[in-house]
Amino acid sequence: MDERRWRDDRAALNAARGRFGEVASALYPDAPRVAGTPLLCRAGWIPDEPIPLADIRLEWDERPAPPPVADPPDGLPPGHRTYAEAMGALAPPKVFEDRPSYRLLDARPPVLRLGPARYFDGVNVGESAAHELAAGTPGLPLRTRIGDPCDLARRPALPAITTLTVTTSGSFPGAGSYVLHRRDPAKVAHAGGLHQVMPVGVFQPLGGERPDMWRCMVREYAEEFLGMGEDYGDGFVQDDWPFHRAMTAAREEGRLRAHFLGLGIDPLTFALDLLTVVVIEHDLFDDLFGGLVAVNDEGTVAMAPFDGTVPRPMQPAGAAALMLAWRYRETLGLTRG
């Protein structure tokens, strides 16, 4: 495949991810789905009720077995060894760095087992499989080699933390609402052109910290809600950061409640999302996020009513988080705005 054709197919993928997602979903008719959405899952991945985030236990495997499918060369233009390398040269999004990340090895909520990875490990497989489908490659050989999308051992399965942020009822203009994101295909490597909840970010460490979902979520709140950059500097100590201290204090006081809803796999890109919900008092939301940006490094931001509906086209993980939160709205202390 020459570079021009590769760019054209990449552009076609980004222009119609919602439609290609429907095509990919139809390839797995027997796979369980999360809450009636296209998000794929396995038995046991969705708990019977939301789990307080503090009860999620993260185990660590420093040297996991390598996956059979990694860095596939399928469909790449001459001179490019990986999909991420081709993206970086031919169609680079605004945010695109090969940062240390985590690989999910096993999931039996409330226990998740992780190992080390790099961000491009997921791009090289997931975006390549999506590109293959968008290009109309006969037989979909890469997707066929991967097999069951929910088999975490077949490929590098890098989890993102997808957080639905919902305000409780009250007088704040956004009361009974959630934060909605439209991901700009010119800025992101994954899910461009789709709606999504916020914040969402690849589960990655900062410095040498141990895996900690809450610490990663707090950083994503600062970056996506307030427009803070991702470069925290060499002397950064998160425990001393006023924003982290304010968020954590609110959580300890019960004014901000974080729960784990489950996990699932996007049928188009095989992206893996850990689904969480943060319920926050409306006045605290105003205090913490009164400076909520209208545009951030990944797209545009708005408030939407939390009423059991799902905007279209929407990333499967966001749709699943919305539907699960709506199902358990009484348990979560939410009321319809």
Spell out the domain ranges in the chain. Answer: 3-327
Model confidence over 22-38: pLDDT tens digits? 999 999 999 999 999 99
CATH class for the domain made up of 3-327? alpha beta
The model's confidence at residue 337, banded by pLDDT at 50, 70 and 90, is: very low
* Angstrom distance (rounded) from CA 95 to CA 77: 22
Q: Which residue reads 């959580």 in tokens?
A: 251
* Angstrom distance (rounded) from CA 23 to CA 14: 14
Model confidence over 241-275: pLDDT tens digits? 999 999 999 999 999 999 999 999 999 999 999 99
* Angstrom distance (rounded) from CA 134 to CA 276: 30
Q: What pTM does this model have?
A: 0.93
Nearest 5 degrees, angle CA 41-CA 34-CA 20?
Answer: 80
Residue 176: predicted pLDDT: 84
Model confidence over 52-96: pLDDT tens digits? 999 999 999 999 999 999 999 999 999 999 999 999 999 998 878
- Going by the DSSP 8-state scheme, the letter that residue 251 receives in this structure is H
Longest C-alpha distance within the chain, in Å? 59
Sheet of strand 57-60: strand arrangement: 57-60, 111-118, 100-108
Model confidence over 187-218: pLDDT tens digits? 665 556 889 999 999 999 998 899 999 999 99
